[in-house]
Amino acid sequence: MKNQKTTLPEEGQMILARVSAEEEASIRPELEKITFVDKGKINEEELRVLAGEDYESIQELIGAKKNFCIYLENESGNIIPISSYDFYLYGIGSDDAVLGTRANGDEILCGTAYNNTIPSTGGGGP
């Protein structure tokens, strides 16, 4: 059987299904431990656990074939940093993904960590 290629939107939907408990149980029960979304609500502790893993481990867990970035936005489209025990992250995944820019013009890269304080992102984040 020939190895099937997925498009970026298809892979994004696949990743979303794998981190959502209600979808995951029916798709691949063995990966349920990586879920951090259940009935539309984020389990912050599960998200922290995932944020503490290295990129390659997460990529294998979620079955991603392409570079990825899992990030959160509020209703206004602003990026919400992910709290991980002693630091904050703008997304979990490849630092090749640019999520936005700060007020000073600096790019916000996926997976960038900040200790204790969250830098202002101007209009593109918190």
Tell me what pLDDT residue 5 has: 55
Alpha carbons 30 and 43: distance in angstroms, whole number: 19
Could you tell me the residue ranges of all domains in the chain?
8-124
Which residue matches tokens 């944020």?
Answer: 51
Count CA atoms closer than 13 A to 66's CA, side-chain side.
16
Q: What angle do CA 21, 91, 22 make, to 5 degrees?
A: 5
pTM (global) more than 0.75: no
**pLDDT in single tens digits along all 126 residues of the chain:** 344 555 656 766 767 676 766 554 455 555 445 678 777 788 888 888 888 888 998 888 887 888 889 988 888 988 889 988 788 899 999 999 999 888 889 898 999 888 755 555 444 444
The whole-number pLDDT of residue 32 equals: 44
The identity of residue 121, as a single letter, is T
